[in-house]
Structure 1
Amino acid sequence: MKKILIVLILTISSLSFSQEGKFKLVLDAGHGGKDPGANKNGCVEKEIALDVVLQIGELLKNYSDFDVKYTRTTDVFIPLRDRAKIANDFGANLFVSIHCNSSVSPNPSGSMTLVMGLSRSNMNFEIAKTENAVIFQEDDYKKNYKGFDPNNPSTQIGLKILQEETLLQSIEFASEIQNQFKNTLTRKDLGMHQQPLWVLDATVMPGVLIELGFLSNYKESKYLNSKEGRQNFAQVIALAILKYKNQLLGTETPLFEPKVLTPIIIEETKPEIVPIVDTVKTIPLDVQPQVDDQKKYRVQIGYSTTKLDLVPANFKGLLNVTMKQEGNAYKYFYGNASSAEECKKLLAEAKTKGFNTAFMVEDKE
C-alpha cells in the first residue's frame, strides 16, 4: 500500500510540474520586523535567516525551470498564517523555512531539519514552542488560530497532518539537507525530526523548517554570522533542493559543486596581547616577540573559563600563543599573520596539533 501511495504521489507531482513548466519554490526567512527571533552573541536570527534565504534564491534563479517566491525580502513582520497563504496561493511544490536555534545553555550545537509531526520529545518540543510563539505577536491571534496555544502540549499534539503524502516527501528532502550539512559542511548533524509546527501544518505542499545552528553557542554563532558561513549554508541547501527536484520528478537539472569556504571571524574588539612565558627557558624582556601592528590575522584555538599559563606544554607544543580575557572566560590565539592565506597555514598547523575546532580571526582595528 505504501509503495502504491508513493507512486501516486510522484505521478501527481510530475503532472503538476509539467503543466506549470516550472518547479515552484517558496523560501521563508524566519521572523522579521518586530520579531527578531534568537538574539545571542551579537547575532540576530532574523538577519541571518534573510541573508541565507536570499542567497539560496539567487543561486536557483540561474535555473530556468525554477520559479522562486519569498515570504519576505526585507526586515518586515509576516504573520505565520500569511506565510502559509503565500505558499498555498502560489501553488508551491516545496516550502523551505530558514531559522537559527538557541538554548539557555551555551553548549548545544549542530544543525537539524524539522518536518510536520507529532513528536513530544522535550528538546524538540521546546523548539516547536519557540517557533510557534510568534503567534502571540499577531493581532487577533485567538481568532486567527482558533485557540491554538504554543505553550500547551495538548494543543500541539492536536495539530492534524492534512495530507500524509506530503510528509513522506518532506522527510526525504530533510534527509538530503542533513546529508549535505554533515558530509559537505562537516557540521554537527542533529538529524531530521518531526514536530508540530503551525506554518508547516498550514501549507499543503511538502515543507521543512531548517535550524542552521545555535546562536547561543559562541563558536557556532560566529560561523553563522560570517559571510562565508552563510554562503556555505546557502549553497548546500540550494544543492539539496536541486537533488530533491530531480529525484522527485525525474528531471535532469544540472547540479553544481559547492565551494565551501573557511569563515574569517572578525572580533568585535582588538584583543589584548599577552607575551609568551616559556617555563623551560625564560625569554629576556629585550628579545620578547613583538607584535607587528600590520599583522591582522590569528587562529583562535580555545575558549575556556580556565586561565592557562602561556607555555608550549599547555598548548600541545605550540609557540606564540596569546590570550584575551572576556569577563570570566579566556580566549587563546595562535600565531600572527599579515594575510588570510598566511593564516590558513597557521590554522592547518594548529589542527595537526589536535586543535580540531580552531578557526581564523581577523583583528578589527
Structure 2
Amino acid sequence: MVKLFKPLVFATLLGLSASLLMGGSASAQSGLTALARADSGASALVDQGERVEMMLRLSQPVPFRIFTLDEPRRMVIDFAEVDWTGFDTEQFDTAEGITGLRVGGFVPGWSRMVLDLAGPFRLVHAQMSRDDKGAVLTLTLDPTASDEFALGAGTPPDAQLVRPSTDDAPKAAPARKLGEGPLRVVLDPGHGGIDPGAERDGVVEKELTLTFARELQDVLNRAGGFEVTLTRAEDLFVPLETRLTLAREAGADVFLSIHADAIAEGRAEGATIYTLAARASDAASQKLAERHDRSDLLSGVDLTGQDDVIATVLMDMARTETTPRTERLADALVEQLDESVGMHKRPRLEAGFSVLKAPDMPSVLIELGFLSSAKDRAKLVDPAWRTKAAWAIRDALSAWEDEEISLRDKLRK
C-alpha cells in the first residue's frame, strides 16, 4: 500500500509504518542492516507511452521516502541506506521523461536519488518488494497538470536535512581575538555525497577535495597553533548554507573552501584564489560560481524563501570590516602557493560564490587546479605535490595571522 502525505510524500516498505519510515533509525527498528547495494545492470528507468516506470534492484529492502520539488521539477527518493558504488546512471536511465539523474550519499544514514522531470508527473505507484535476490523498488509516474504538481511539491517537514534544529545545534565557539589562542581554521571540502563535482579520467572532485582537506588538516595539526574543523569528514552532501553554519559554530577565524573544478570555456591550469564579488572577474569565473550554487538545487534541496533584503543589507555592512582582511588572506595564499607549487596566470579572481558570503569571517575559495587540464590532474593526484601545497597554505595562514595582529596593534597606538 502507498500512503500519501502533504507535501507530496510516499513511503512504503513491507508493512512498516509511515512514521517509522520517516524516522532516522528505521533500519535498526526493522531489523534491516545497511547498506543495501544498488545494481544498475538489473534495474531500469523507462518510458511506457506517456508514463515513466522505474525498477530498482537492491541487495535488500530498505526504508525510503519520496517527495517532489518545483522550479525546476524534480522527484527525490531518499533511502536508509543504499551504496551506489558502481551504479551506472546512464545505463539505468533511458526514459525521455527523465532529463537527468543523480545518486549518492546525502546525510548520515540516508542516501538520495534525484530525478529531473521533463514535465509535471505524479507518483501513482510505489512499492518495495522482497524476493530471493534481495528487493526491488518499483515506481510509476503519470503526467499531471502543472498546478497540481506545484501544489504537492515541497520538502516534507520531517525529511532529514543536514542543518540541525535550533535545540540540537551545538553552541557557537566563544568569540576571541586573534592571538588569544590557536587560529581556528574551517576547511570546506567542496561537493560530496550526491554532488560529485567535476570528473575527468577517473578523478572525482569530491574525493580529491576531501583527501586534500584531511592532508591539510594533518599538516596544520602537526604545526601547532591551529584548531582545524572540516565541514564534512566523509562522502556526504552538505548544503552551502550549512557549511557556513558549521563554520560559525566552530568560531572560525578563517574559512577555506577547497575545489578542483573543470571548465569547458577555454583552457585553464594552475591554482587560483577566489574572493567574493558581486561581479565576476571574467565569464569563466561567473559560470563557475553559477555551477557551484546550482549544486544544492540539483541535489534536491528546496531553495524557496532564501532571499532576505534586510539581512543582505546588514551583511554588506559587516563585510566592510571583513573584506580587507579577506583580501590580505588571499594575497598571502597567492604569495606562498606561487613560490611553492606555481599558480594560474591570473592567480587572484573574484566571483559571487555563495559559500564565501559569510560576512563575519575571512573566506576564500581555493581552486587547487582544474581537472580539465591533464597537467593539473597529474599534479592533483600526486601526494608529494599536495603536501607542498598544504605546507604553502600553512605558511600563508601563519603569515596572515601575524600581519593581522600587527595591524591591529598599530591601530591601538
What TM-score results when the alignment is normalised by the length of structure 2? 0.51
When structure 1 is superposed on structure 2, of 220-229 and 68-77 the one drifting more is: 220-229
1:213 aligned residue (369, 382, 395): 369
Which residue is 2:269 aligned to?
Answer: 109
Q: 1:232 aligns with which of 364, 385, 388?
A: 388
Aligned pair in 2 of structure 1 residues 50, 89: CA closer, same or farther (>3 Å)?
same
CA contact (8 A) 1:28 1:95 kept: yes
Corresponding residue to 2:321 among 165, 177, 181: 165
> Which consecutive residues of structure 1, in runs of 5 or more, have no partner in the other structure?
1-13, 149-158, 252-365
Aligned to 2:107: none
Higher normalized strand content (fraction of residues): 2
Distance 1:108 1:67 in 2: 33
Residue 40 in structure 1 maps to residue 200 in structure 2 = yes
Q: Which amino acid aligns with 1:69?
A: T
Aligned pairs (5 A) from 1:307-326: none
> What secondary structure does 2:260 align onto?
strand
What secondary structure, in the 3-state scheme, does the structure 2 residue paired with 1:202 have?
Answer: coil
Distance 1:129 1:161 in 2: 24
- Measured on the aligned residues, the alpha-carbon RMSD in Å equals 2.6
- AA partner of residue 332 (structure 2): E
Matched, 1:125 2:250: no
| More RCO (CA 8 Å, sep 6+) | 1
22-31 vs 184-193, which moves further: 184-193
Taking the aligned partners of 2:336 and 2:289, their CA distance within structure 1 comes to 23
Partner of residue 379, structure 2:
223
- Deviation sequence 1:175-231 (CA, Å, 0-9, x none): 121122222213434221221111111352001001111101112111112222222
Moved more, 186-195 or 229-238: 186-195
Q: Which amino acid aligns with 2:379?
A: Y
Whether 2:99 is the aligned partner of 1:99: answer no
Q: Is the 8 A contact 1:83 1:199 kept in 2?
A: yes
- Aligned letter for 1:136? L
State the secondary structure of the residue aligned to 1:142.
coil
> 1:198 and 1:92 mapped to 2: Cα distance?
17
Counterpart check, 1:241 vs 2:397: yes
Structural mapping, 1:1-365, within 5 Å:
16-18=177-179, 21-104=181-264, 107-120=267-280, 121-143=282-304, 145-146=306-307, 160=316, 162-202=318-358, 204-250=360-406
Instruction: Give how far 1:94 is off.
Output: 0.5
In the alignment, the residues of structure 2 paired with residue 95 and residue 62 of structure 1 have an alpha-carbon distance, to the nearest angstrom, of 19
Runs of 5+ consecutive residues of structure 2 not aligned to the other structure: 1-174, 310-314, 408-413
Q: Is the 8 A contact 1:30 1:98 kept in 2?
A: yes
What is the deviation of 1:118? 1.5
2:196 counterpart SS class: coil
Q: TM-score, length-normalised on structure 1?
A: 0.57
1:177 and 1:72 mapped to 2: Cα distance?
22
Alpha-carbon deviation of 1:50?
A: 0.9
Q: CA deviation at 1:15?
A: 5.7
Q: How far apart, in 2, do the equivalents of 1:37 and 1:147 lie?
A: 28
Task: Name the structure where helix makes up a greater proportion of residues.
Answer: 1
Amino acid corresponding to residue 141 of structure 1 in structure 2: D
The CA deviation string for residues 117-141 of structure 1, in whole angstroms up to 9 with x for no partner, is 1124312101111221112135443
Report the Cα offset of residue 100 of structure 1. 0.7
Query: CA 1:130/1:147 → structure 2, altered by over 3 Å: closer, same or farther?
Result: farther
Cα 1:108–1:161 change in 2 (3 A) is farther
Report if aligned partners of 1:115, 1:167 keep a CA contact under 8 Å in 2.
Answer: no
Letter in 2 for 1:126: K
Q: Could you tell me how far apart the structure 2 residues matched to 1:36 and 1:42 are?
A: 12
Query: Alignment length, in residue pairs?
Result: 228
d(CA) in 2 for partners of 1:249, 1:62 = 22
The aligned amino acid for 2:370 is: F
